Amino acid sequence: MGNSLRLLPEIEEYISSLPVDAVAHDRKQLLDQIAHYCRTQYAEGRTPALNFICTHNSRRSQLAQVWARTLSAKHGIEINSFSGGTAVTAFNRRAIAALQNSGFYVEKRGAKNPTYTVRFSMEMEPLLCFSKLYDDPGNPNAHFAAIMTCSDADVNCPFIPGADVRIPLRYSDPGLADGTPDEPLVYDARSRQIATELSYVFRTI
């Protein structure tokens, strides 16, 4: 545990509005598994590594990686957060827009499967986010929690090599709203749900 970071003002305000106390009991049971894993890693002298896994590593897993790192910093809790998929695509622009709507500073580098710098505080370097496989060389290959954020990846990857624990924290796919009038609302709602639930995790550690 350490000192909390000062986040960008708009993100601080956004986090203060999250309905953490309204998280459902069945979701808390899954989220408590993440908190418990973090505690066991601290007890063993390790920094917890959380790898959020979805099929394309383009929406839900990216949002979860960013929010996990942001909220852990908010609460002065040291973790490493990662994300990956079973296929490589690109960080979806609609998910990026949802983060920007929450106050993140995002910059794009490159064209095909670009890397995005995502900043949530002026006190540390931004995150580097891009679509990758869950076993990408930049991701941990041992002693990590595999957190499955979509049903397809959860079903199609029954075994994640090197994972200490596997947690099925599934979220509905905001991509189903692509091209509809509800698209921005759905993405904002999914990002907010992920932020709310991960806020619960780091408030309980």
* pLDDT of res. 4: 76
pTM for the model stands at 0.96
User: Is residue 74, in this structure, part of any structural domain at all?
Assistant: yes
CATH number at 57 reads 3.40.50.2300
Residue-number span of the structural domain to which 155 is assigned = 25-204
* pLDDT of res. 152: 72
* pLDDT of res. 157: 62
- The answer, yes or no, to whether residue 52 has pLDDT greater than 90, is yes
Q: Say how many domains are in the chain.
A: 1
CB-CB contact of 131 with 57 (8 Å) = yes
- Work out the mean pLDDT of the chain and round it to a whole number: 95
Strand ranges of the sheet holding 127-129, from the earlier edge strand across to the other edge: 105-109, 115-119, 127-129
Q: Which residue has the tokens 């992920």?
A: 194
Tens digit of pLDDT for each residue in 129-161? 999 999 999 999 999 999 999 877 666 666 799
User: Is residue 150, in this structure, part of any structural domain at all?
Assistant: yes
Average pLDDT estimate for 43-49? 97
CA–chain centroid gap for 42, Å, is: 20
Q: Which residue has the tokens 């990662």?
A: 82
User: Is residue 11, in this structure, part of any structural domain at all?
Assistant: no
Pair of tokens at residue 136:
């990408």
The percent of residues above 70 in pLDDT, for the chain, comes to: 96
Helix (H) or strand (E) holding 51: strand 49-53
- The answer, yes or no, to whether residue 61 has pLDDT greater than 90, is yes
- The answer, yes or no, to whether residue 76 has pLDDT greater than 80, is yes
CA–chain centroid gap for 113, Å, is: 19
* pLDDT of res. 121: 97
Tens digit of pLDDT for each residue in 77-123? 999 999 999 999 999 999 999 999 999 999 999 888 999 999 999 99
